[in-house]
Structure 1
Amino acid sequence: MLTGKQRSYLKALANKIDPIMQIGKGGITENVIKQIDDALEARELIKIKVLNNSSLEAKDIANEVAEEVKAEFVQSIGNKFVIYRESEDKLINMPK
């Protein structure tokens, strides 16, 4: 569980990164979950864009994806969302 201070720190970091993948009308498939899982292990913090042709809202997709990959939902703005999961290499030095 993220504290408010940690969530704010991650939001600041996420502001500088671009979305690394897109989710469209196909929704959340097993392949999408695998790619997100791999990306989280490599980067810890990722931003994903939900395309306009998707029938779901970004926040709904974000919560579902976060639950599937055992990650923390950080934020959702418009059609983009950010999730975080600590990897074994600990790339991000989180505040206490």
Structure 2
Amino acid sequence: MLALSVAQRRELKARAHTLHPIVMIGKTGLSENVIDEVDRGLTSHELIKIKVQIDDRIARNALFEEICQRLDAAAVQHIGKILVIFRPNLEQILKKPSDSVKRKKREPFRTKRSFQN
């Protein structure tokens, strides 16, 4: 299971605030299809919300931990029946060569006098 610092968790909570749940887990619990769908969601979005229909809080906590362990993800937040899970996308991390690319120097702003000549 992935570990997050307090600052990272706070930033992820703020990002997740506007998200809608993309996976719903019914009263039957966790199945392979649900795990596959959560994995697919984490691969494409990195940060997802899951809505759980189980009323028992202890069962929801166990479900939350099991999902995070099986998918090597980080548990961000658990409020009521909503779970927030994060797993960084390794492909995007490895693709970031933008640090080595030099940016084009910006032209200075034209002043009022430059238009008059």
Q: Verify same fold: TM over 0.5.
A: yes
Of the structure 1 ranges 48-57 and 5-14, higher mean CA displacement relative to structure 2 is found in 48-57
The answer to whether the 8 Å contact 2:54/2:60 transfers is no
How many residue pairs get matched?
90
Percent identity, please: 40
The answer to whether the 8 Å contact 1:10/1:74 transfers is yes
Give the structure-1-normalised TM-score. Answer: 0.84
Q: In 2 relative to 1, CA 3–55 (structure 1 residues): closer, same or farther, beyond 3 Å? A: closer
Structure 1: gaps (5+ residues): 91-96
Structure in which a larger fraction of residues adopt helix? 2
Give the structure-2-normalised TM-score. Answer: 0.70
CA distance in 1, matches of 2:88, 2:59: 25
The answer to whether the 8 Å contact 1:75/1:81 transfers is yes
Of the structure 1 ranges 36-45 and 48-57, higher mean CA displacement relative to structure 2 is found in 48-57
What is the RMSD of the two structures over their aligned residues, measured on CA atoms?
1.8
Deviation per residue, 1:49-92 (Å, 9 max, x gap):
001467864322111111111100001001101000001225xx
What residue in structure 2 maps to residue 23 of structure 1? 25
The answer to whether the 8 Å contact 1:24/1:51 transfers is yes
The answer to whether the 8 Å contact 1:62/1:73 transfers is yes
- Does the residue aligned with 2:92 lie in a helix, a strand or coil? coil
Find 1:76's aligned residue among 60, 70, 78. Answer: 78
Q: Which has the higher contact order (CA 8 A, sep 6+)?
A: 1
- Does the residue aligned with 1:49 lie in a helix, a strand or coil? strand
Runs of 4+ more than 6 Å apart: none
Letter of the aligned partner of 1:70 in structure 2? D
Larger-gyration structure (1/2): 2
CA distance in 1, matches of 2:37, 2:57: 21
